[in-house]
Amino acid sequence: MSAGGEESSGGGPIAHLSRRWHLCASHRLHTELYDKERNREVFGKCNNAHGHGHNYVIEARFSGPVSAETGMVTNLADLDGFAARELIARFDHQNLNTLACFADTVSTTENLAMEVYRIFSAYPYARLELVRIEETSNNSFTYAGESADAGAPRFEDRGK
């Protein structure tokens, strides 16, 4: 059993790994469901018609058995390659509002966190636990998938 008391079904210790990536992207918080005045009222300065940008810090936390052979939960080169292809290439230096995943969804960081979670859920070599996105030094958003008890998304929203 591991120091934390957690074992995999195969009897080996489970470890948790967090990894960060950086990307720059712009967006405008706006919905066609509201008129111009309501959008401005709800989204404030984030509804600027020209948009605004962020230097996002994306963090994903994974878990898995520690390989007896390598001593790792997953190979960081594999994880970074996956992130480069599936996350960075898709979002870095983009206007989020122009991407298909935000065609019918407001490009909030909450919604970005859910999209990033969906992307990293497909990583085959470790179990995704959660995604955290730091939007500014005052705002970060964490998404940990669907809640088992309520069937509703679980979020931690700080500083907004």
User: Residues 23-82: pLDDT tens digits?
Assistant: 999 999 999 999 999 999 999 999 999 999 999 999 999 999 999 999 999 999 999 999
Q: How many domains does the chain have?
A: 1
CA 122 to chain centre: 13
Return d(Cα 80, Cα 154) in angstroms, integer.
26
Q: 9 pLDDT band (50/70/90 cuts)?
A: low
Residue 4 placed within a domain: no
Query: Catalytic annotation on 146?
Result: no
Residue 7 placed within a domain: no
Residue 3 placed within a domain: no
Q: Can you give the CATH number for the domain in which 63 is found?
A: 3.30.479.10
Q: Quote the DSSP letter at residue 9.
A: T
Q: Given 110, 115, 134, 135, which residue is catalytic?
A: 135
pLDDT at res. 147:
63
Q: Given 46, 86, 101, 129, which residue is catalytic?
A: 46
Q: Which two tokens stand for residue 9?
A: 């079904």
Residue 141 placed within a domain: yes
Residue 82 placed within a domain: yes
> Which residue range forms the structural domain that includes residue 109?
14-158
Residue 5 placed within a domain: no
> Over the stretch 77-111, which tens digit does the pLDDT of each residue have?
999 999 999 999 999 999 999 999 999 999 999 99
Query: Catalytic annotation on 156?
Result: no
Query: Catalytic annotation on 46?
Result: yes
Q: Given 22, 24, 93, 146, which residue is catalytic?
A: 93
Which has more confidence, 150 or 42?
42
Place of tokens 């995604």: 131
pLDDT at res. 10:
55
Residue 43 placed within a domain: yes
Which has more confidence, 86 or 146?
86
